[in-house]
Amino acid sequence: MVRPGLEDRRGEPRRLLVLAAREVFNAKGYTGASTREISERAGVSETLMFRHFKTKAGLFREAMVAPFVEFVDRFVQSREGVTATDDREELSKRFIGELYDLCRAHRALAAMLLAGDVHTESELAASGVLDEVRDQLERLVGLGESEMRFRGSALPRQDLATRTTIALVAGMATFGTWFFGTGRPAATSSSRSCPTPCCTATTVPGARGCRVAPDVDSQHSLD
């Protein structure tokens, strides 16, 4: 019989490695990050790290891609039971806000999305990580198309509308002051509001078209 608390302690190295990997991947990207630096930051031996994750790509998958998969799962489930009379703009803002928070906390994933073609010949592609990310993106695209057909207001290329929104949000989370100029909005997922001080986009699953207009929310400070 396992003593109380032992399972938690056994899982601690894995948790520390995921946290350290997130920090290093965010700071240096996939290519610039080294497994040695990640293991040292986590205070876990590199040997033990590879017992848990086998490869660098496997560690990236756990630290960066798994949260994205969970986000898409939650969002798809949340769409069940939504009707044509629901507030499309509120649904859109919630989607954008949560996606922004996710990309902000997992900037290496957002950067990979923006430069996906660069990695087509990399170990990320060979490991299947890129395919997993693409599969999740296609789930969002498919959801957007089916919902807009249901509403009778699908765009000729509704898939591009959804992809454009995802790319915009990933860019906002990744580029920071280059994108915003004066500062990056604070992550505020609990507010369920669009976390950008400069736009409200409605080209997301369940919304139609794209509206970019000033929409400053006093809840969102600039850092």
* pLDDT tens per residue across all 223 residues of the chain: 334 443 345 569 999 999 999 999 999 999 899 999 999 999 999 999 999 999 999 999 999 999 999 999 998 888 776 666 666 677 778 888 999 999 999 999 988 888 766 666 678 888 899 899 999 999 998 888 877 777 777 677 788 888 888 888 888 888 877 777 766 666 543 333 344 333 333 444 544 444 333 333 333 332 3
Q: Are 133 and 162 found together in one domain? A: yes
Q: Are 46 and 119 found together in one domain? A: no
Contact between residue 115 and residue 133 where contact means Cβ atoms under 8 Å apart:
no
Q: Are 140 and 216 found together in one domain? A: yes
The pLDDT, as a whole number, for residue 217 is 37
State how far the alpha carbon of 101 is from the alpha carbons of 89, 124, 145, 153, 219, in Å.
18, 24, 24, 29, 15
Q: Are 81 and 42 found together in one domain? A: no
Q: Are 129 and 200 found together in one domain? A: yes
Q: Are 134 and 195 found together in one domain? A: yes
Supply the range of the domain harboring residue 25: 1-54
Q: Are 77 and 15 found together in one domain? A: no
The pLDDT, as a whole number, for residue 165 is 86
Half-sphere exposure of residue 137: CA atoms within 13 angstroms, side-chain side: 23
Residue 59 forms part of a structural domain: no
The pLDDT, as a whole number, for residue 146 is 79
Contact between residue 186 and residue 200 where contact means Cβ atoms under 8 Å apart:
no
Per the structure, the count of domains in the chain is 2
The pLDDT, as a whole number, for residue 77 is 86
The token pair at 2 is 């396992």
The pLDDT, as a whole number, for residue 185 is 60
The token pair at 151 is 């509403």
Q: Are 95 and 163 found together in one domain? A: yes
Residue 105 forms part of a structural domain: yes
The pLDDT, as a whole number, for residue 196 is 38
Q: CATH no. for residue 36?
A: 1.10.10.60
The pLDDT, as a whole number, for residue 154 is 66
The pLDDT, as a whole number, for residue 121 is 65
Q: Are 73 and 48 found together in one domain? A: no
